[in-house]
């Protein structure tokens, strides 16, 4: 359900507006990653406390990430940054993403934000577009290309990133 018209990602445009509902949120995450691939965005951020509502375990999202990785292959500094508080259930909840992350570990940096500090925003960020979940209970999200909003969120993400520690290893070492 949207509060306004939203162009389809196939039109080469970022979806914009206010959206309500888990399905819209999940569809917009996938559409945003598809558009990031289409536009060749070298830096993409995923940020959430636990990513429980995110469709990271879905094939369509992993395909969008594969497309992004292929589209940015020539860019030596292309990176997916993932910032969260809890990654314990990722292997069960988001198995496809875990496998993708292991394959692309050289392009994915994951950091863990310490509990007890300021809460993390729920955001998908690219240099051209942001998707922010502003109400976790009802899954209200705002998608925008507005420069001021992108800049504000980039500053918040960067501040949290600098204070976070490496987390969610791409491989598990065992004896």
Judge whether 162 lies within some domain: no
In a domain, 41, yes or no: yes
Q: What is the tally of structural domains in the chain?
A: 1
Residue 20 belongs to some domain of the structure: yes
Tell me whether residue 167 is in a domain: no
Residue 53 domain flag:
yes
pLDDT of 167: 78
Is residue 130 included in any domain, yes or no? Answer: yes
* CATH classification at residue 101: 3.30.870
Q: Per-residue pLDDT for the chain (175 aa), expressed as one digit of tens each?
A: 444 433 333 345 899 999 999 999 999 999 999 999 999 999 999 999 999 999 999 999 999 999 999 999 999 899 999 999 988 888 899 999 999 999 999 999 999 988 666 688 999 999 999 999 999 899 999 999 999 999 999 999 999 999 888 877 655 544 4
Q: 80 lies in which domain range?
A: 15-149
| pLDDT value of residue 119 | 83
The model's pTM: 0.88
- Distance, in Å, from the CA atom of 1 to the CA atom of 88, rounded to the nearest integer, reads 32
CB 72 within 8 A of CB 43: no
- The answer as to whether 71 is a domain residue is yes
What CA–CA distance (Å, rounded) separates 163 from 151? 19
């Amino acid at each position: 359900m949207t509060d306004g018209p939203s162009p389809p990602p196939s039109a080469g445009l970022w979806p914009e507006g206010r959206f309500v509902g888990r399905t819209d949120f999940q569809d917009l995450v996938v559409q945003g990653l598809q558009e990031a691939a289409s536009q060749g965005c070298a830096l993409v951020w995923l940020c959430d406390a636990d990513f429980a509502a995110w469709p990271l375990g879905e094939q369509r999202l992993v395909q969008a990430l594969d497309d992004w990785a292929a589209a940015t292959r020539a860019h030596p500094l292309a990176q997916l940054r993932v910032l969260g508080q809890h990654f314990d259930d990722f292997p069960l909840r988001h198995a496809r993403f875990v496998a993708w992350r292991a394959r692309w570990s050289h392009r994915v940096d994951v950091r863990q934000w310490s509990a007890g500090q300021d809460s993390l925003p729920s955001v998908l960020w690219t240099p051209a577009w942001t998707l922010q979940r502003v109400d976790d209970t009802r899954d209200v999200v705002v998608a925008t290309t507005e420069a001021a909003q992108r800049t504000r969120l980039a500053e918040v993400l960067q501040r949290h990133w600098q204070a976070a520690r490496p987390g969610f290893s791409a491989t598990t070492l065992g004896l």
